[in-house]
Structures are given as C-alpha cells and as structure tokens.
Chain A
Amino acid sequence: MTSNSNREKILGAIRAKLGVRGDEAGRRGLARTRIDRAPAGIIPARAQEERAALIRRFTASLESQGATVERLKKRAEAPEAIAALLRGLNMPLQLRMGEEPLLDSMPWDTTPLDIKRGAAEASDFTSLSWAKCAAAETGTLFLASGPDNPSTLNFLPEMHIVMIAAEDIVGPYEEAWGKIRQIHGRGKMPRTVNLISGPSRTADIEQTIVMGAHGPKKLVVFIASR
C-alpha cells in the first residue's frame, strides 16, 4: 500500500476512534495555541536558584557524571589552559574546531597547538566547541549544529572540550530552549541540538558503568564569560 493512502487511512482511523472530524475549530485552536505559546509546566525548585547556586549545581552535576569543569577568569585564557591540559594528559597538541567566532578570536598563536577546522575526522583526538547555553538543573550543555560548531565534534574525538559563557548557564531546560528560540526563531531548530550531560558511557555489561562507549571518553568544560 502506498504511504499516501496509508496517511489517510491512519488519520481516518484515529478520528473514528476518537469520535472527532478533524476540522473542529475549538480543537484546532487549542492545539494551535499550545504549539504557538508552548507553555512551561512545573519547574523544579532546584532550577530556580540564584545565579551562583545554579553555576555550583551545573558544575557539581557534570562532575558527578565524570566530566571535568574549570572556571576561567577570561575567555582569552582558554588556549593556554587547553595546551596545558593536553600536555598534562600526554595527548597530541592537536585541536579540531569549527568556525565559531567566539573561539576564533582567542589568542591561539601564543600556543603550540595545531588547529584544524571543519567536521571531525576519526583520527582527531581532541575537539573544541562553544555551547549555546546550558541547563544547570542536571548539568546539561546545549550544543547546536552548524559550520561554527559541527556536531561530529561532539562524538568522534576521544576528548571533547566545551566552552560556555557563565551568563548562558540558566536553570531549567525551558529557559535554555528560550535561548535557542532567540537565535533561530520560534518553531525553528538547527539541524541538530545535542543536550550533553557527561562523557559517553555504557552499563550494558553486568550494569557496570564504563566511560567512553562510542563517544568521547573525556568531557572537559571551561566556564568563561562571553
């Protein structure tokens, strides 16, 4: 059977079972309003704390999932901090990143880092992304795809470094979506939005947690200002 006749058949069956027609102004208005207004429901108290408490929760939550979180005084400190991190872990001084202006404008020349641009390749060890925002309630970073921060950076390399501005750390998911909507417009989304709450892990062997299943084994987050 063709997909098109299936469509009519399925929608017809749904309407018959629900006892509706589909053209009721009341029902249509209700659904339209819900989508257009996207009302928020219950927001947990933990997501409504004051700023400093939210940043503490964001940090503690990510750390409890096995990520490392560091606070930088200035964004410009990042290249040196990243070089030091790679040296400390005895990893190649290579870094993959997109065309994010906030990352691009940092003083990379002062470090020996070999920087590659564009989508990640299987041979990349470390990548760097800029998160659009984060929800402190569960230590969840929001990364949006695009040439500035390609999504493969979030998954292919062994280590993923994410930078986030302190002012972009909000409490609940709903507020984070508000920020994404500010950038892309209501009802519009980037091709991929990755909500990331820690390094890759699995518990599929006897429920023992092992880090680095398919994605990055290490997640390092730098909090700076924009």
Chain B
Amino acid sequence: MEQRSHAFKENSTAALADEQLQRALLNVKRGFVYKRAKAREGLPEFDALKRQGREIKDHTLANLDLYLEEYERKVLESGGHVHWAATAEDARAIVLRICQENDAKSVTKGKSMVAEEIGLNGALEASGIEVVETDLGEYIIQLRGEGPSHIIAPAIHLTRNQIEADFRRVHVDLPPERRLEEPVELVSEARAMLRAKFIGADVGITGANFLIAETGSSVIVTNEGNGDLTQLLPRIHIVVASLEKIVPTLEDASAILRLLARSATGQEMSTYTTFSTGPRRDGDPDGPAAYHVVLLDNGRTEMLGSEFHEMLRCIRCGACMNHCPVYNAVGGHAYGWVYPGPMGAVLTPQLIGVHEAGHLPNASTFCGRCESVCPMEIPLTKLMRHWREREFSEGKSPWQARAIIRAWAFLARRPELYHWMMQLPPRILAMLGRKRGRFTSAPFAGGWTKHRDLPTPQGPTFQALWHAEALRREGLARETMMNDPQ
C-alpha cells in the first residue's frame, strides 16, 4: 500500500472538509462505542480479564522463542508447513512461490491486516493471479482501489450511496433497474457475486487472530463466515500471521477471546471463531489438501525489549481508534498507511520509519481514552511520547517546533522568569478585551477562533490563586497547631 503518512496534515484538512466522510464517521460512535460500553457492563469480570490478558501476553513474549518452536513442531506434526519471513518482501515471495508451484490462477482472501501490511494483493496480481477479497468491507474497498480505513471495519468511511454506486459501476452484468437501496439488497448482491469466487478459487489466504503453541492451530474470528469459506473450499490454505499472535494454550486463547469481540464490536462473541490445524485428514470429505503458515517478523523482534515492547500485546480489536477524537474527526485514510488511530500512531513509525510517519504520534491530545479502553492495557500515550522524543532527538521535527520547545525549555529552567512571562498574555488580553468580553480572532490561533470566540481572561491567574490558597492553608495549619498543642 502506498505510504502517505508524511502528508497527515494535508490528509486531515481534506478529511475535515469531506462531508460524505464526516457523515460516514458518525457510524463509528453509533456502531462501536455504545455497544462496547454495554458489553463491558455485562461482564463484571472484564477488568480482571484485562489484567489476565496482559499477563498472558507478557508471559508469552518473554518466552516467544520457545512458544514459536513448539508451535512450529505442532504444525509440522499435523501435516502443515511453516515458513519464516523476516521481511514483507520475504513473505510476499513465499506466498507467491506457493501459488505458482501449485499453478494457482485465483486466490480468495479473508480479511488480514498483515496481508495489507506486506502488500500481498499487489504482488500476486503483478504475477497474473486474480485476488478476491471476500470480507464485505474489504470487497467494497477492493472495488474502489482503496486501502482499509479501519482495522476491523475497512469500509467504515463509506456511505450506503457510495457503495451502491460502486456495485452499479462494477457489477455490469446485472440488470441496471434492480433495487439496491437497502443494506440487505447490497449484501445479497455481494453474497451472490462472491459465491462463484469461493468455489472457483485455487488458494485461500487468511490471517490469524491467534496461533496456539499447544496444538499448532491458527484461529480466525469473523461474523460473515467468509474466512471459513476462504479456507475450506480451495485446495490450499495459506495463513499469514505476524509472530506475536502466538499464545501458549487453548485456555489462553479463550481468555483473550472474552475480551476481543466485546472490545471490538461490543458482541459477547463473534459469530464464527475457527480453529484450524493442518490439512484435510484421512476420511475428511472437505477441507484443504495443504496447509501453510507464513510467520512474519517485519520489525516485531526489533520491538522486543525496546520501549515499544508493550505494543506487541495488541490484539487488533480497534477499540483505541473507535474512542479516539482524532480518528473520529479525520477517519483512517488520513493516517496514510495500513494501521490508523492510536495503535497505528505507535506501530506505523516502527514499520515504515519515523521519517515517513513522524506526524502520527503527534496527532494526539494525549486524552488517554485509547489506553483506558485497550483490553491489553497498552500505554498508548506513553508509547506515542517515545516516538515524539525520538523524532526530536534525531532532529526530524520541524525547526519551528524545535525552536518553540527550546524556548520553553529555557523558560522552564528559570521559574521566576517563567511565571513573570506567563502572566503577561492573560493581562494583556484582559486589558484589550475589557469592553467586548471576547475575541473573534487572536494571533497564532486563527484555526481555533475560526470556529469559536475566545473569552477575555478574568480575575487572577491560576498561579496567583494557587499561592493564595497555599498561604491560607499554611495559616490554618499554624492555627490548629497552636490550638491543639501536643
């Protein structure tokens, strides 16, 4: 996928002015935020489960080498193959080779963020292989030639009208006078179009929500059932998964499943959770004849033990972006690459470089809603701050920002001067705005005053109030001591 993260500011300005997008983004709150809150209320053990989920991931990461070895052993034992891919390029080459060795012409895909990350579709199509996305949201954005704007709802940036227009544009063999107004009509058209693709595919590619060391199983979680048709019907099933998806046991996967759907869509459990272990067995009338797992590193091992270690606990539920005021305002495409929102602001600089994605960790007010809803208790704001520090220390932040921070640091080290300077602007503003009581414009704050007025500062400053209060308390304490001698 093309990298446009460096243009975050321009992307955001365009997104804010896009009325269609702004209408579509209202569905984030409607679809996710309220439902998650309700699901959490319905499970009194939710917070305890969060702590447990965190422990499971921390334990697994501390022993990642051992669990990966055991997982590999179990996959081989069940008749599957494991391919280790250090980079995105390695992973693309492995998948392409499996397809070519098996003379594959057509590939169906379940929704996979890792496949997006490694740019798998483009690589397969460049070699003449037809790739069909089967998740409805992914199918829609594939028709439009777009990337996903959300990690679990890839077409959340679109309205029903846009999707209808795309279906009419692409499904030209269907009668033009057909009704396509209701979501149910659009869904049944997509269902019919994709049925033929499922049945004709040579290879099915899915991602994985978990890999289980105990059994060598890969797990996918869907509501549509598309992932299952993708992996059941073709001759070959390829799983592409990053290596931090591993958990030790079925019990560990089950414990995290209690958090995943509730945090993601507010469901207690997704409709389909599927555990796949190896290829078709003797006597099986269905299932793939071959089962391959591509284990992707692509920067994960570099995060181990670093200040970004905790990001490896992420289970890709999307709660952080659903609750992020910045994501809700600009949508996922503004982030310019595969992973948007707070988790993307931490992960993207790691995967494509801070020079390309340095804006993303800056696009946060640090309100902390993301980490308060994170089921894996990832300290997202702290991790974003690490990127800001790194950007600054590597001299990659713009000179204006550096100059302001330097000036602030100079003042912050001289408290007397700082306090004197800081009480100036409110005084000046109070004097200037005495008559009108508000400002309709202010220097350096045009973007802010464009949408609202700035009230004239009134009364003493916070620092002055604080000092007065401290003096008052000191006085009270002295009085009490004198009245009540030990």
Which of A's residues lie within 8 Å of B, judged by CB? 1, 3-4, 6-7, 9-11, 13-15, 17-20, 22, 27-28, 30-31, 34-35, 38-42, 44-46, 61, 65, 98, 118-120, 122, 137-140, 145-147, 150-152, 154-156, 172-174, 177, 187-208, 210, 212-216
Contact = CB atoms under 8 A, between A and B. Distances in A.
B195 A122 contact: yes
Given A17-B301, A31-B67, A3 B83 contact: yes
B96 to A, nearest CB: 13
Given A205-B186, A206-B160, A41 B255 contact: yes
Interface string B359-391: 000000000000000000000000000000000
A206 B277 contact: no
A213 B191 contact: yes
A41 B255 CA distance: 7
Nearest to B278: A191
A122 B83 CA distance: 33
Interface of B: 24, 27, 30-32, 43-45, 48-49, 52, 56, 59, 62-70, 74, 78, 83-86, 90, 94, 134-137, 140, 153-156, 159-160, 163, 183-184, 186-188, 190-191, 194-195, 198-199, 213-217, 223-226, 228-229, 232-233, 243, 248-252, 254-255, 257-258, 265, 268-281, 283-287, 295, 297, 301-302, 304-306
A194 B281 CA distance: 16
Given A6-B86, A187-B214, A189-B216, 10 more contacts: A4-B84, A13-B301, A18-B304, A38-B248, A140-B273, A146-B284, A154-B228, A189-B215, A205-B186, A215-B226
Ranked nearest first, the 8 interchain pairs of A and B with the lowest CB-CB distance are: A215-B225, A207-B31, A213-B224, A204-B137, A138-B269, A173-B254, A119-B286, A17-B304
A214 B225 contact: yes
Contact of B223 (A118, A154, A187, A213): A213
Contacts of A40: 251
A196 B275 CA distance: 11
Given A18-B65, A173-B257, A42 B48 contact: yes
A203 B223 contact: yes
Contact of B44 (A45, A187, A205): A45
Contacts of A214: 134, 191, 194, 198, 224-226, 229
Nearest to B255: A41
24 contacts: A10-B84, A10-B86, A13-B297, A14-B304, A18-B64, A31-B63, A34-B248, A38-B251, A44-B45, A46-B43, A146-B281, A155-B229, A172-B254, A189-B217, A189-B277, A191-B284, A197-B268, A200-B225, A207-B156, A213-B224, A214-B194, A215-B226, A215-B272, A216-B225
Residue with the greatest number of chain B CB neighbours at <10 A, chosen from A3, A28, A30, A208? A3
Nearest to B214: A35
Contacts of B287: 145, 151, 191-192
Question: Of B66, B198, B233, B248, which is in contact with the most chain A CB atoms at under 10 Å from its CB?
Answer: B66
Contacts, number: 264
Nearest to A208: B183
Contact of A192 (B68, B154, B274): B274
Contacts of A191: 276-281, 284, 287
Contacts of A34: 59, 248-249
**Which of B195, B275, B277 has most A Cβ within 10 Å?**
B275
A174 to B, nearest CB: 6
Nearest to A192: B276
A46 B46 CA distance: 12
B254 A174 contact: yes
A36 B344 CA distance: 36
A155 B284 contact: no
Given A34-B248, A151-B287, A204-B135, A196 B271 contact: yes
Contacts of A215: 224-226, 228-229, 271-272
A22 to B, nearest CB: 5
B285 A150 contact: yes
Contacts of B78: 189
A38 B250 contact: yes
A155 B198 CA distance: 12
A206 B273 contact: no
A206 B183 contact: yes
B251 A35 contact: no
A44 B258 contact: yes
Given A41-B52, A147-B284, A191-B277, A210 B184 contact: yes
B199 A122 contact: yes
